[in-house]
A and B are shown apart, each in its own frame.
Chain A
Amino acid sequence: MESRFCPHCEREVPVELSKHTGYILHVCSICGLGLQVSPIPLTDDQSNVRRGLTGKLASDSTDDSTTNSVSFDPSQSMGGALAQLKLLRKSQTLQPVVERSSARTDTRSSDVGLEELQSLSTNYTPIAQRPYRPSLINASNSAQQSSFLGNDESSESPFGDKPTTQVLSQYNKVQVPMPKEQPPAEPKQSIQKILLIEPNDILRSVCKVLLIERQHVQYVTDKATASDGLEAYMRACIEGDRPDLVIQEMQFADMKGTELAYAYRGIEKALGVPHVPILFFASEPLSDDQRAILQEIKRVRFIKKPSGSVEADDSSSQAGSNQSASAAAAAVPAEVVAGKLLAAVGKILEG
């Protein structure tokens, strides 16, 4: 049994330990005066629990228990000792908790202001009201691309993430107009402008109409003579609106077809423009000399007219005053010739 000096008994007296919640009171066994107050030493489990709750206490708990004891002042009553003990507990155990709460309060007040919160609330737009942004879609991802085109019904959202049920419901409510599946694009047509030089009026007219209607050529400049054709080509070169293809006869009244082709090449060389492709369309087969010339001219193709077109031309010229009747009679072979010409032009367009 421990002994303490009792100021009431004025001598060393044995003390009794009176355990209370959180502390031990040393009491004089003779007079019952409280002599000393000391905290109850913690067990290991209790110490760990308290260390987790209060970080600062964990370091203090390692100190000697005597440092935490409060010396009893005999002039004070027992109530004064308990008040002192409460102050001690507040200073040791509750202080860290108070510090943490105050720190949390400071953080709130410094980081996020009221104005910022208000601005966030006003600037926030719900998902259902956000504009649809298809540019976010990664086209290289085939799965996303298929969903973008509407092929995959169960798919992910076009924003790339897998939507939750809520987001999906909002997404469905918006009814974003998804682009429909595009039809296969037509092959690009490189020939839009054709210069047609043909002395036969009927054949030239039929060819011009059929080229525009069936081959979707934008416009056809038709000339009857080589000089007019060369003038049209030179004017087109000066204006920067060159034809994409020249269709012409092999023989004109004022100039040979090969001479006309040489003139094209001379103009192109002078003006620094690329060679225009030339489609020769003649009723007579090529001679060896003509074949060599066409090889020298380059970018040329030759098509032989079907037989019968010459007779149509003759019949129209012999009709004299009755031009309309002869034109109707000559229309059939001219269409046959034009059909072959169109087939050749179609092959060029495809190729």
Chain B
Amino acid sequence: MASRRILLTGSLPPNTIPVFETACPEHEVLEIKDGARLVSVVARLIKAQRPPKLIVIVPELRRISAVSSIRAIRALERAAGWHTTPILFYAEDSAELQADLKSVGMAVNLVRNTQLPENEQISRLALATGRLVTKIGG
């Protein structure tokens, strides 16, 4: 059974966590700095049989890129025989990205509008996360 954890990964401005906690009040939001740590955290949660409920990725990620991180997470899930974790991607839209997300499965991209201020971008991402969590069933 999935836990009520939401993993938030990427280059995020400060004070992001309270916004997400407001949007997702019944969930625990965990901020992770880079792709290697994201893989490590997912591996630990899979080992504990408490995989996260949702992973939010905001490129760019250090050490392991965003798409490679998703592929690595899918590999870990296959190895453990666990179901695929939903992933919310927040990046500028591109055909290559769409193809990558389609190949990994259970991943959607919220198109990033770079024209908006950073605070508004975070609020928009947090609102989309809340809606997605509600849609998943939690």
Contact = CB atoms under 8 A, between A and B. Distances in A.
Contacts of B75: 227-228, 230-231, 234, 263
Contacts of B35: 259, 262
A231 B71 contact: no
Interface in A259-273: 259-260, 262-263, 265-267, 269-271
A256 B37 CA distance: 17
Contacts of A266: 36-40, 43, 72
Interface string B43-68: 11001000000000000000111001
B74 to A, nearest CB: 7
> Which among A235, A255, A266 has the greatest number of chain B C-beta atoms within 10 A?
A266
Interface stretch (B18-26, B76-84, B120-128): B76-84
B41 interface: yes
A232 B79 CA distance: 7
A231 B44 contact: no
A270 B44 contact: yes
Interface of chain B, helix or strand or loop or mixed?
helix
Contacts of B37: 266
Interface residues of B, number: 22
Interface in A213-235: 226-228, 230-232, 234-235
Contacts of A136: none
Interface in B78-95: 78-80
Contacts of A226: 71
A227 B79 CA distance: 10
A242 to B, nearest CB: 13
B73 to A, nearest CB: 9
Interface of A: 226-228, 230-232, 234-235, 238, 254-256, 259-260, 262-263, 265-267, 269-271
26 contacts: A227-B75, A231-B78, A231-B79, A232-B79, A235-B79, A238-B47, A238-B80, A254-B68, A254-B71, A255-B68, A255-B71, A255-B72, A259-B63, A262-B36, A263-B64, A265-B40, A266-B37, A266-B38, A266-B43, A267-B39, A267-B40, A267-B76, A270-B40, A270-B41, A270-B47, A271-B43
Interface of B: 35-41, 43-44, 47, 63-65, 68, 71-72, 74-76, 78-80
The 5 nearest A-B residue pairs measured at CB? A266-B40, A234-B79, A270-B43, A270-B44, A266-B39
